[in-house]
Amino acid sequence: MRLQLRNRLLERTTVNPSAVIDLCRRQGIQMVDLRFTDLFGTWQHFSLPVEELDEGLFLEGIGFDGSSIRGFQHIDESDMIVVPDPSTARVDPLLRVPTLILICDVFDPVTRERYTRDPRYVAQKAEDYLVRTGIATATYWGPEAEFFVFDDVRYDLTVNTAFYAVDSDEAIWNTGRDGRPNLGYKIRHKEGYFPTPPTDSLQDFRSELVLKLRQAGLEVEVHHHEVATAGQCEIDLRFSTLTDMADRLMLYKYLVKMFAREKLKVATFMPKPLFGDNGSGMHCHQSLWKDGVNLFYDPNGYAQLSELAMYYIGGLLAHSPALMAFCAPTTNSYRRLVPGYEAPVNLVYSQRNRSAAIRIPMYSTSPRAKRIEYRPPDPSCNPYLAFAAMLMAGLDGIKRKIDPGLPMDVDLYELPPEEAAKIKQVPGSLDEALDALEADHEFLLEGDVFTRDLIETYIEHKRRKEADFVRMRPHPAEFYLYFDA
């Protein structure tokens, strides 16, 4: 597929290259930052003086070395090009030099075709496939990406030592800190939701950050302290369509980290940086719409859900073990996905129940508000791949009419052992999730949304560079347990 899909998507926006160039002129932009995402969810970039930005750049693109990007090309086929998407133009509110951000699509310079391992292309293909199925015309997404804000972080890993240490002025372990001043008001473990300042020491931090997000064009619905001690936060973005929300989430994570650094703090989206307290998840609200009608709503259904929504849930639950390879894609993700700590490990659905993998929010009876919330993902994921994979699982459930079974409107953590043993759970490790993806990925290949090449490359990297990297190293807890063996 050459430029056809990209052009169809661009037709949906009124932003064109000339408007972007005019924006640069009006805003006094001096640098243009071109950004794209590697296979595993890290933003990459390079910058041009604004004088180099012309309408030709939006047609011809500009080259880069694909062999230096994780999950992309080999060195003997390294030349790639990025083509900016004018609809993504945003002024960076934090860089000192006036800079315009443009998110790019990746192309092969020889064939001029889209690059199949470009995660943004996968997301765009998923949206296009949804329309081609005739099931819906739009899908809306609202991720809740939690994060920690620390005042200090130190870590090292060598042949003979391994350690990490994080610290926060508001953490419960600092009640006895010998410092001047120690102003008290520390957050006890699992009690960070929702005390007012001064206990919530990050109120102004989050409020100022929200203003920066809004300056960048991100619509924010709410912000608050989260459950854990030591600076766990949540800022919720207003829902949007799949690819656009993935774009917004990449910008959101970038701005959170940049603003923290400006305040001499450090933000992390690592799922489980603290032992014995809640980790950071990314609950994903999602729905399907057709010609302005919410297909998930039925006033007579369970929790006002339609039959189509139930099949969508069936698809998510059936494919969840494989989905975790994209939605909870780090070894650290499985420090969070353990029973307790509000971890959604149980593959069931329920209204209001936060111990289930899928919750149906009941805050509103409006047809427009009806949606499902998929809770296992965490913010370490590549949102383009994770959102696309979840959509493909849900669509497979609709096509195959997968019955999700009965809801579980009970506290799953309090079930008797014999009952709990009957409930399927998410994988217990990254290795298990990758095994599940190897065994169950045909649903992702529908419509050529994912390709076998992308899936194989992703699995190989995750196994060799991450799972094996962690598995082969002695753990500090092993010294505690076994040094006197």
221 labelled catalytic: no
**Catalytic one of 55, 65, 208, 219:** 65
Determine which one of 151, 277, 373, 378 is catalytic.
Answer: 373
Q: Which of 234, 236, 244, 298 is catalytic?
A: 234
144 in catalytic set:
yes
Catalytic residue from among 226, 247, 298, 378: 226
Q: Which of 105, 144, 236, 466 is catalytic?
A: 144
Marked catalytic residue, from 92, 128, 146, 244: 146
Check if 354 is active-site.
yes
First to last CA, the chain: 60
162-to-167, 251, 298, 439, 464 alpha-carbon distances in Å: 17, 32, 54, 35, 20
- Establish whether 6 is a catalytic residue: no
Q: Which of 45, 223, 354, 461 is catalytic?
A: 354
Give yes or no: 146 in active site: yes
Active-site residue (options: 114, 206, 359, 375): 375
Nearest to 116 by CA among 233, 247, 9, 2: 2
Nearest partner of 187 among 197, 339, 265, 177, judged by Cα: 197
Q: Verify whether residue 373 is a known catalytic residue.
A: yes
Q: Packing angle between helix 307-327 and helix 452-461, nearest 10 degrees?
A: 50
Question: Annotated catalytic, 342?
Answer: no
Nearest to 296 by CA among 123, 128, 408, 136: 136
As annotated, the active-site residues are 65, 144, 146, 226, 234, 283, 354, 373, 375
